[in-house]
Copies of this chain bind each other. A is one copy, B any other.
Amino acid sequence: MTDSPDPHHTENVQEHLQKVQALLERHALVESLAHRQEMPRAERHGLVDTLLHKQHLTELREKLESLHPADIAFILEALPIEQRLLAWDQIRAERDGEILIEVSDAVRESLIASMSRAELLEAAEQLDTDEIADLAPDLPQAVMHDVFKSLPVEEREQLRSAMSYPEDAVGALMDFDMVTIRENVTLEVVSRYLRRFNELPDHTDQLFVVDRDDNFTGALPLNRLLVNEPEMEILPLIAHDRVTLRPDDKAEDAAKAFERYDLVSAPVVDEDGKLVGRVTVNTVVDFIRAKSENDLLNLAGLREEEDIFASVWKSAKNRWLWLALNLCTAFFASRVIGAFEDTIAKFVALATLMPIVAGIAGNSGNQTTTIIIRSLALGQISASNARRLLLKELAISALNGLVWGGVAGVFAYLLYKNVLLGVVMTSAMLLNLLLGAFVGMLIPLTMHKLGRDPAIGSSVMLTAITDSGGFFIFLGLGTLFLLH
Interface assignment of A270: CB less than 8 Å from any CB of chain B: no
Whether the pair A199, B222 counts as a contact (CB closer than 8 A) is: no
Contact A396/B316 with A195-B227, A260-B7, A356-B327 known, Cβ cut-off 8 Å: yes
Interface assignment of A37: CB less than 8 Å from any CB of chain B: no
A7, A74, A203, A381: residue with the most chain B Cβ atoms closer than 10 Å:
A7
Interface assignment of A6: CB less than 8 Å from any CB of chain B: yes
Whether the pair A78, B380 counts as a contact (CB closer than 8 A) is: yes
* Bound-complex Cα distance A4 to B19 (A): 50
Interface assignment of A296: CB less than 8 Å from any CB of chain B: yes
**What chain B residues lie within 8 Å of A305 (beta carbons)?**
374
**What chain B residues lie within 8 Å of A369 (beta carbons)?**
300
* Bound-complex Cα distance A353 to B351 (A): 11
Copies of this chain present in the complex amount to 2
| Stretch binding the partner chain, chosen from A52-60, A159-167, A238-246, A444-452 | A238-246
| Stretch binding the partner chain, chosen from A40-48, A117-125, A136-144, A341-349 | A341-349
Whether the pair B241, A404 counts as a contact (CB closer than 8 A) is: no
* Bound-complex Cα distance A78 to B316 (A): 42
Interface assignment of A428: CB less than 8 Å from any CB of chain B: no
| Stretch binding the partner chain, chosen from A126-134, A148-156, A208-216, A285-293 | A285-293
**What chain B residues lie within 8 Å of A302 (beta carbons)?**
367, 370-371
Contact A78/B289 with A198-B227, A351-B344, A360-B327 known, Cβ cut-off 8 Å: no
Interface assignment of A109: CB less than 8 Å from any CB of chain B: no
Interface assignment of A51: CB less than 8 Å from any CB of chain B: no
Residue pairs across A and B with Cβ atoms less than 8 A apart, 13 shown, are A7-B242, A10-B256, A77-B378, A191-B226, A195-B228, A293-B374, A301-B366, A308-B385, A320-B400, A327-B356, A327-B408, A338-B352, A341-B349
Interface residues of A, Cβ cutoff 8 Å to B: 1, 6-11, 13-14, 17, 21, 68, 70-71, 74, 77-78, 80, 191, 194-195, 197-200, 202-205, 222-223, 226-229, 239, 241-245, 249, 253-254, 256-262, 264, 281-282, 284-286, 288-289, 292-293, 295-297, 299-302, 305-306, 308, 312-313, 315-316, 319-320, 322-324, 326-327, 330-331, 333-335, 337-338, 341, 344-345, 348-349, 351-353, 355-356, 358-360, 363-364, 366-367, 369-371, 374-375, 378-382, 384-385, 388-389, 392, 395-396, 399-400, 404, 407-408, 411, 415, 467, 471
Additional A-B contacts beyond A70-B261, A323-B360 (17; CB < 8 A): A7-B241, A74-B378, A77-B378, A78-B378, A222-B226, A259-B286, A281-B282, A292-B292, A293-B374, A296-B374, A320-B400, A327-B407, A330-B355, A333-B355, A334-B356, A338-B352, A344-B344
